[in-house]
Chains A and B, each alone.
Chain A
Amino acid sequence: AQRVTQPEKLLSVFKGAPVELKCNYSYSGSPELFWYVQYSRQRLQLLLRHISRESIKGFTADLNKGETSFHLKKPFAQEEDSAMYYCALAKTSYDKVIFGPGTSLSVIP
């Protein structure tokens, strides 16, 4: 069965420092991959998906099929980036979406 792991439960970085949130998945095919974010007192919402290859709020994520990873990166963290980040996977365009355990990012002023 497919699985998503996020090795860090908590991650703290200083404002202006680079940030990388790790995501690894176990699935032999070509999955659909996403990053969702939950800001304090807000709904969980889509941040970005690998098929669109876009940068949202300065974040990017690259799919590495060899390492089965989809790490989220931002060169300069901002205080407003503090939130809970979830990596998610779907096997096919019409399949269920499963989530990793999440990483809580704290950006220190």
Chain B
Amino acid sequence: GESVGLHLPTLSVQEGDNSIINCAYSNSASDYFIWYKQESGKGPQFIIDIRSNMDKRQGQRVTVLLNKTVKHLSLQIAATQPGDSAVYFCAENNGQNFVFGPGTRLSVLP
């Protein structure tokens, strides 16, 4: 699995601005991806998913972009709100199980 030590990458954004969280995945054969949000003291919560036959998918205030060429996934959050403050994980399904990225902590500034 992946490890990043004790310090998560942190993204700080102003309330109302757009946020972009990036993730590099490892297995070119992975064909299903999910973004999860984890708030303190809670389990990961599903945000949005995308299959490898798509390169973009939109939800409510969120958009996921998939670039299979460089094995890169991004999550865009529009009009970021204080309630969006959390750790965000990308997960790839390699056909056996989900492999999670190290996570990014999103901090929304008032």
Answer whether A and B are interacting partners.
Answer: no
Chain B positions within 8 Å of A, measured between CB atoms, are: none
Chain A positions within 8 Å of B, measured between CB atoms, are: none
